[in-house]
Structure 1
Amino acid sequence: MTQSFSELSLSPAIEKAVAEMGYATMTPIQAQAIPVVLQGRDVMGAAQTGTGKTAAFTLPLLQRMLKHENASTSPARHPVRALVLLPTRELADQVAEQVKLYSKYTNLRSTVVFGGMDMKPQTAELKKGVEVLVATPGRLLDHIEAKNCVLNQVEYVVLDEADRMLDIGFLPDLQRILSYLPKQRTTLLFSATFSPEIKRLANSYLQDPVTIEVARSNATASTVEQHLYRVEDDDKRGVLKQILRERGIKQAFVFVNSKLGCARLARSLEREGLNTAALHGDKSQDERLKALEAFKTGAVDLLVCTDVAARGLDIKDVPAVFNFDIPFNAEDYVHRIGRTGRAGASGLAVSFVSGRDTRLIGDLEKLLGKKLELEALEFEADRRPAGRFNDGQRAWQQADGQDLERRAIRESRESRSSRESRADQRPARAPRAPADPLFDKPYEPSVASDAPPSWEVSQRPASRSASPNIKTRRKVPALFKSAPAPAQES
């Protein structure tokens, strides 16, 4: 099996770029996938996260597309020939950067399009012509509908983190995108995990694929030291600070399950003096990219994030990952802890397990196929000890029995004196005005209750000539006045 990049017979331009990036020996997924892709076969590759899947599909695709390389400035000479689809914006931006580095000494063009950004700069890049297009499904459909890109000459399609894209509902978008592509093409699927359902769906996209699995499905990297501590929810933040202090950890990912919890935890850690940034879906794309770049450069020590950062992000030398919350999806645990211990380096993964996480731990044990042992941790609670009081001089003093008694007496006196002083400061009330007897007098009706209504009382005395046997017409109140009769024309 090929183990060195020099044995692949890559072009001098690509070999030079690979050497500058410090690549010498291939990882297992690269050693098995690159020769197969160079032959033009479809590939279904499963490997642990952080094992170099990006180079496994990018290098052979660039090598095969060198036959189309040209220095023409005409956009028509640079149609899209390779399409790389990814689930998240951060991962798309990262893969696009890697493609540019691998192809820097060639005339092959590449660009990236993803949501959360203005479409105009992306449209301008697409109009210039690109051979390699890296995109998220939603934004790519926007450009297709706007007729900013044509995909009828695509020869290679890569679905990176394919299981994630299908899990989060991108299947309809993928089907629409694939309908715009030629039927004769090479399709590559790479992911850290493959469920049986995802394999069945993927088989409809691939033609006679070569399945490559360099590690047991859903396995975690052996270079990562894993610890699961039983911690109550109220103590998690204190335990996190304690582990950071005891182990001397300078930089780490901190994963939470919700966007609101991510923002709150980041603000809380920032108030406690830790250099922290938040990364979640409610952040604008510019804020997300700035937080990620600050973490890469070391300007930020703790990156508190949701699972938007769990997949594929390649940040070297991150010593630790903290699962502040156990993930709802067990497979996300594999991706989270894969942010450390990358490229053979050692790493630390710490998970906090509370009493309500029993079902989630059961799902995780089923996925990993082994029993997980929960460890006890001696937590130095940062609380006010009993029998101590603040003397008002910004220092806590130890109190004996007499001190506590004197303190209680002093507080009682102070509270009594404060109540008396407040009573003295109250303004005197104005004398009450004499009561009006008219308002105190009970209600007396002015008309007897058995008296007839006023409209039945005749305004004129009854005529004496009327017979006593003739009853007068009873009058009723009228809501509307009758309209006057129209005058007759003579």
Structure 2
Amino acid sequence: MTFDKLDLIEPILNALSHEGYTQPTPIQEISIPIVLKGHDLLGCAQTGTGKTAAFAIPILQLLQLNKGAERAPRKIKALIVTPTRELAIQIGESFAAYGRFMNLRHTVIFGGVPQGAQVGALKMGVDILIATPGRLLDLQTQGYVKLNELSIFVLDEADRMLDMGFIHDVKKLIKIIPAKRQSLFFSATMPESIRVLAGSILTNPEEVAVTPVSTTAETIQQEMYFVDAVNKKDLLIHLLQDKSIKTALVFTRTKHGADKVQRLLTKARIKAEAIHGNKSQNARQNALRNFKDRTTRVLVATDIAARGIDIDDLNLVINYEIPNIPETYVHRIGRTGRAGLDGKAVSFCDAEEHEYLRDIQKLISIQIPVIKDHPFPAENMPVVGKSKSKSKPNQNIRQPNPNKPKITHNRAPISKAATDSAAEPRKVIAPPVKNEAPAKPVVSKKFWGRK
């Protein structure tokens, strides 16, 4: 399955090609047609499965096809609500990437910063608004956010919303937005409390569930360095002084961060290039070719840009910044230790990243060994997991799970109360997935639409 089989319009296909994407992930392959048909969607999927594109792509297409020649100020047609600033920014970047060849405008609003710039963007008019709950309700109360013409509503990371105490804000928001709308609801877990909330938002939804990758290959030696953020650059250069490291793939969370790390390595006379979404496709391909040919020793990448990297003899992966999504860690370090070869994954953890580390270790069910013997130890850093003074082969990596990940698609009811009248749910299950490529779902030929 390729994106051009999903009935997507030319501007979106061109944007996907520009980003280097040709094949949808399982959740994208099943969810995009559902959303394009105007159905509500209940998605049980964590960030890292491709779910942002699963809703961003069809939203862009629906808005583009329904866009009139109006000259009046743009009205908010789509609203995406997510619990954190970082997630909101990442979603905004996705809309920018997939909508780069379309005349649609989006903006991101979140708390913790002055509202002036955000209010200015809203006054200019936007088609798509990505927001955190608190700032959204605040600006709505002030009259800067008007949702009376909203047609598509997305609630992302619903279980995290509840964990962070946003449930009351979400309930307030539901009362404000139009009752006649298309709603998309995503949650990493689906306990009864989440299903009850979903039941108050969705109407006769399709349900798609994804079990993400959660194990690491046994051939990968993992190590953790606790280091203050200001000393990460020095620790990176220190580690790369080891001439036995022929190639290293360094991950950052942002495009700006990738460029910054590339510049400091170049200044230290370490041959490095960066790839991210702001680089042209030719520039990314040239950098990747130089890295594979070992003309470039270090490749600095963001997660999205690194999607196509497939190098069997990669020596080392370095998480310069720990990912905020646990599954992303698994995908990152899966770039090494391939084809039965040994690999090594090193992570730098500062004080603000401890929560991310905790989530990663919970997902992979191991404690990553800590390296204490290095020149830049962090101050006042709590010990997490096992420590060791020298690198040794890692014996505590779980065996890979042959059944990861899978995806199911049901026409099942979303709450237990409705099960008595429900028909037997149909399911779609994808075959096992390798680290490097998304699964190709085995989709039933039966029509999944409303009866």
Identify the TM-score tier after normalising by the shorter chain.
0.5 to 0.7
Cα 1:215–1:83 shift into 2, 3 Å: same
Question: Does residue 297 of structure 1 match 2:295?
Answer: no
Provide the C-alpha distance between the structure 1 equivalents of 2:15 and 2:21, rounded to a whole number of angstroms.
9
Instruction: Kindly report the root-mean-square deviation, in angstroms, between the aligned alpha carbons of the 2 structures.
Output: 4.5
- TM-score (normalised: structure 1): 0.52
Cα 1:293–1:27 shift into 2, 3 Å: closer
Provide the C-alpha distance between the structure 2 equivalents of 1:345 and 1:53, rounded to a whole number of angstroms.
27
Cα 1:314–1:206 shift into 2, 3 Å: farther
The letter of the residue matching 2:116 is: K
Provide the C-alpha distance between the structure 2 equivalents of 1:149 and 1:345, rounded to a whole number of angstroms.
49
**Higher helix proportion (structure 1 or 2):** 1
Cα 1:204–1:240 shift into 2, 3 Å: farther
Provide the C-alpha distance between the structure 1 equivalents of 2:66 and 2:238, rounded to a whole number of angstroms.
57
- The residue that corresponds to 1:50 in the other structure is 48
Between structure 1 and structure 2, the one with the greater Rg is 1
| SS of 1:214 mapped into structure 2 | strand
- TM-superposed CA distance for 1:372, in Å, is 4.1
- Which structure exhibits the higher relative contact order, with contacts defined as CA atoms closer than 8 Å and separated by 6 or more residues? 2
Residue among 80, 87, 93 paired with 2:89: 93
Residue among 6, 9, 25 paired with 2:7: 9
Count matched residues: 314
Provide the C-alpha distance between the structure 2 equivalents of 1:81 and 1:249, rounded to a whole number of angstroms.
44
Deviates more, 1:338-347 or 1:98-107: 338-347
Cα 1:341–1:31 shift into 2, 3 Å: farther
- The residue that corresponds to 1:118 in the other structure is 114
Q: Deviations over 1:88-112 (max 9, x none)?
A: 2222122212212322333322222
Q: Is the CA contact 2:223–2:347 (under 8 Å) kept in the aligned structure 1? A: yes
| SS of 2:61 mapped into structure 1 | helix
- The residue that corresponds to 2:326 in the other structure is 334
The letter of the residue matching 1:132 is: I
- TM-superposed CA distance for 1:295, in Å, is 1.4
Provide the C-alpha distance between the structure 2 equivalents of 1:299 and 1:231, rounded to a whole number of angstroms.
17
- TM-superposed CA distance for 1:190, in Å, is 2.7
The letter of the residue matching 2:145 is: C
Q: Is the CA contact 1:69–1:107 (under 8 Å) kept in the aligned structure 2? A: no
- The residue that corresponds to 1:220 in the other structure is 214
How do 1:91-490 and structure 2 match up within 5 A? 91-215=87-211, 219-220=213-214, 249=248, 251-252=250-251, 292-299=254-261, 314=303, 316-317=305-306, 319-321=317-319, 334-335=326-327, 337=329, 340=332, 372=366
Q: Is the CA contact 2:216–2:334 (under 8 Å) kept in the aligned structure 1? A: no
Provide the C-alpha distance between the structure 2 equivalents of 1:98 and 1:232, rounded to a whole number of angstroms.
31
Cα 1:382–1:320 shift into 2, 3 Å: closer
- The residue that corresponds to 2:16 in the other structure is 18
Cα 1:232–1:200 shift into 2, 3 Å: same
Stretches of structure 1 lacking an aligned partner (at least 5 in a row): 254-290, 303-312, 354-360, 384-490
- TM-score (normalised: structure 2): 0.56
Q: Is the CA contact 1:294–1:300 (under 8 Å) kept in the aligned structure 2? A: no
Q: Deviations over 1:421-444 (max 9, x none)?
A: xxxxxxxxxxxxxxxxxxxxxxxx
The letter of the residue matching 1:74 is: A
Provide the C-alpha distance between the structure 2 equivalents of 1:341 and 1:230, rounded to a whole number of angstroms.
13
- The residue that corresponds to 1:39 in the other structure is 37
Q: Is the CA contact 1:230–1:374 (under 8 Å) kept in the aligned structure 2? A: yes
| SS of 1:95 mapped into structure 2 | helix
Cα 1:187–1:61 shift into 2, 3 Å: same
Q: Deviations over 1:342-383 (max 9, x none)?
A: 999989666899xxxxxxx99999x65x86487698x76779
- TM-superposed CA distance for 1:120, in Å, is 2.5
The letter of the residue matching 2:332 is: T
- TM-superposed CA distance for 1:231, in Å, is 9.9
- TM-superposed CA distance for 1:159, in Å, is 1.7
Provide the C-alpha distance between the structure 1 equivalents of 2:336 and 2:75, rounded to a whole number of angstroms.
38
Provide the C-alpha distance between the structure 2 equivalents of 1:16 and 1:323, rounded to a whole number of angstroms.
31
Identical columns (%) = 35
Cα 1:333–1:243 shift into 2, 3 Å: farther
Provide the C-alpha distance between the structure 2 equivalents of 1:232 and 1:297, rounded to a whole number of angstroms.
23
Stretches of structure 2 lacking an aligned partner (at least 5 in a row): 265-301, 308-316, 350-356, 377-451
Provide the C-alpha distance between the structure 2 equivalents of 1:349 and 1:177, rounded to a whole number of angstroms.
43
Q: Is the CA contact 1:80–1:133 (under 8 Å) kept in the aligned structure 2? A: yes
Q: Deviations over 1:40-66 (max 9, x none)?
A: 222222335333222110111122222
- TM-superposed CA distance for 1:68, in Å, is 2.8
Provide the C-alpha distance between the structure 2 equivalents of 1:344 and 1:155, rounded to a whole number of angstroms.
44
| SS of 1:340 mapped into structure 2 | helix
Q: Is the CA contact 1:155–1:186 (under 8 Å) kept in the aligned structure 2? A: yes
Provide the C-alpha distance between the structure 2 equivalents of 1:343 and 1:376, rounded to a whole number of angstroms.
21
Provide the C-alpha distance between the structure 2 equivalents of 1:42 and 1:63, rounded to a whole number of angstroms.
16
| SS of 2:24 mapped into structure 1 | coil
- The residue that corresponds to 2:76 in the other structure is 80
Q: Deviations over 1:440-484 (max 9, x none)?
A: xxxxxxxxxxxxxxxxxxxxxxxxxxxxxxxxxxxxxxxxxxxxx
Q: Is the CA contact 1:320–1:349 (under 8 Å) kept in the aligned structure 2? A: yes
